Chains A and B, each alone.
Chain A
């Protein structure tokens, strides 16, 4: 019995320990200003919630006090932890919609559509002037957007579109994944290689980025007679990409292009090349193409280890500001769907400023 008690004590101390450890790490995160995971954090909610979220809310809080001039915006986004893209996107919005710029912004993050809809309803009740929305799912938004319309709240979609009637929102600011792919493929074509033997590493099959980026390559490969040696999904995963490229190398097939649909997979592919002593990069045996413009990826370009990186622009806030300005001045938008400019970087022409400005 005694033994049991001692054990119970030990276990409970351990439990407490893990709980404390958990607190520690979350405190750290709130210092950095990133908001906690899947909780739908409108300001007031976080205030009431835990102390952890409390210290974090200082960063993103407009303060609740609505002085007359401030434009009230409610921003609904996906979980900032989702990817480097999302983190950059969230930080960009936070930096733009500040009091100094004349906004009283509230943020809500969730990967779940229902939670996002709840947050939207709350924002509408709070009478925000603008509702900015990056929806987790395309469906289910009709009724809440109708409410917004009745309440006179303007709705601007960013990053993701939804399946709702165009009349329900004022603008939609999106990336065109197919265009990103086309840019990269055009660049590849302009390289005028003697032959094109391509390893094509795809993202999660069916995702918008995969469809757009694969489609462009497939079309051009078919029309130009390029040879796609391997076309395989690595699920955005570096290590899977490494395995796939390794297996191509092991089978002795020749290739001179790696078309990876994100930077992680390009990195994995390059690791396999390094292992087999196959040179890659500018004026080397294998051309490496990646997407998303992570900062470290652009640095690889600078070093000449990779050849090309296509951007998927997370910096939507300038576009959103433009739209809000126009609407505030009573102008009408020439078109509802605005496609963002997206760059592609060539290792030969990339500059240090590019890395600084566009790296995410």
Chain B
């Protein structure tokens, strides 16, 4: 009897991997990587070149993926927390990005939107946009936690109004930042060949890791998501915890918006970060997190975000016809989401078990 659990553990190694939450995004990444390796190994080629200012830059598809995936990965952090605690999603992040990006440019360019030099230090602009984005996060959070409005309905307000608010902030003008240092944050810092957004994203991962490690936020968010009543009876304040997750998402939005506006040094209110909320939610889903709250894994969501970017880059690389692009994406997404469904994973792990156990039984006898 004592030996039995041990062998079971061994035999179900594959099975247990399949059951792990992080399995789905990793498997998806591997699948995409293998697909690319077979189709064209040069996909993984990374070259060191120079940009127009003569600074060294690394380029290649892999670099593109970790570079352009940064914003989505950062948003996935906040979206996972919101999903876990409030059992719903914030669909206003795209609009909120437009707002906080607009704030950054408003402060950098001043009122006339066509300044040759910066009107304020970049850090001031960034901090101001953080405050604004967190205030809008707080607005959403208050609607959800205090007024108990469904998250999707509550955030629909900002989703509808956000891009117009963003345009208001800059008096409908499209400011362009001419300062080169501002472009560092979405491009390269001279001398460092890795794109800056990658570093920003990593910094965010470290911060959230520390927060979850040394505070009870993760546990509380999970508890509230699983059962609000019980957690209240246990002395938690569900409303506050929900509220705070929205504020954190607001902060993520500010960082993502900062990268986005820095990339092109300008903003277009109607198209910046368009539909990014759906990608962020998808990242959470691909990470195997339940969209109805409760247990969550942020690292799985982050990987999910990179899976989406990997897919996008792959489709661009193979030059899929423009009008067919969404269809291809949809097919892959459907496959991944079905794979990540608990029922399918349960079946898969059972399948692997049944594969291994006869072998084990034979070797034993």
Contacts and interface: CB of A to CB of B under 8 A. Distances in A.
B316 to A, nearest CB: 4
A4 interface: yes
B59 A249 contact: yes
Interface stretch (B9-17, B50-58, B119-127, B219-227): B50-58
Interface in B88-115: none
A34 B325 contact: no
Given A11-B146, A15-B142, A82-B270, A277 B263 contact: no
B172 A34 contact: yes
Interface string A275-286: 111010000000
Given A267-B264, A276-B49, A250 B169 contact: no
Contact of B51 (A25, A26, A80, A277): A277
Contacts of A268: 264
A161 interface: no
B165 A83 contact: no
B266 A15 contact: no
Given A7-B240, A18-B135, A21-B135, A264 B268 contact: yes
B297 interface: no
A235 B237 CA distance: 43
Interface string A240-254: 001110110111100
A205 B171 contact: no
A31 to B, nearest CB: 8
B324 to A, nearest CB: 10
Interface in B22-68: 42, 45, 49-52, 54, 57, 59-61, 64, 68
A32 interface: yes
Interface string B186-230: 011000000000000000000000000000000000000000000
A233 B317 contact: no
A243 B59 contact: no
B128 to A, nearest CB: 11
A41 interface: no
B351 interface: no
Interface in A218-244: 230-233, 235-239, 242-244
B139 interface: yes
Nearest to A239: B263
A238 to B, nearest CB: 4
A29 B264 contact: no
Interface in A268-303: 268, 271, 273-277, 279, 294, 296
A299 B363 CA distance: 77
Contacts, number: 153
A18 B138 contact: yes
Interface residues of B, number: 58
B268 A246 contact: no
Contact of B237 (A3, A32, A271): A3
A79 to B, nearest CB: 7
Interface residues of A, number: 59
Contacts of A202: 322
Contact of A25 (B168, B313, B321): B168
A321 B264 CA distance: 39
Nearest to A26: B168
B135 A238 contact: no
A238 B267 CA distance: 9
Contacts of B270: 81-83, 236
A49 interface: no
Contacts of B52: 273-275, 277, 279
Given A34-B172, A37-B161, A271 B264 contact: yes
Contact of A230 (B45, B50, B172, B319): B319
A296 to B, nearest CB: 5
A152 interface: no
Contacts of A80: 172
Interface in B153-167: 161, 163-165, 167
A87 B172 contact: yes
29 contacts: A4-B237, A14-B138, A17-B135, A25-B169, A28-B171, A34-B168, A34-B172, A81-B269, A202-B322, A231-B321, A232-B325, A235-B271, A235-B274, A236-B268, A238-B264, A246-B64, A247-B317, A250-B61, A264-B264, A267-B264, A268-B264, A274-B51, A274-B52, A275-B188, A276-B51, A277-B51, A277-B54, A296-B176, A296-B266
Sorted from nearest, which 9 A-B pairs have the closest CB atoms?
Answer: A81-B167, A37-B164, A29-B168, A233-B322, A32-B171, A247-B316, A238-B264, A274-B52, A237-B271
Interface of A: 3-4, 7-8, 11, 14-15, 17-18, 21-22, 25-26, 28-29, 32, 34, 36-38, 79-84, 87, 202, 205, 230-233, 235-239, 242-244, 246-247, 249-252, 264, 267-268, 271, 273-277, 279, 294, 296
Given A243-B313, A276-B57, 16 more contacts: A7-B237, A7-B239, A15-B138, A28-B169, A81-B168, A81-B270, A82-B270, A84-B174, A87-B173, A205-B323, A238-B263, A238-B268, A239-B260, A244-B316, A271-B263, A279-B52
Interface of B: 42, 45, 49-52, 54, 57, 59-61, 64, 68, 132, 135-136, 138-139, 142, 145-146, 161, 163-165, 167-169, 171-174, 176, 187-188, 237, 239-240, 243, 260, 263-264, 266, 268-272, 274, 312-313, 316-317, 319, 321-323, 325
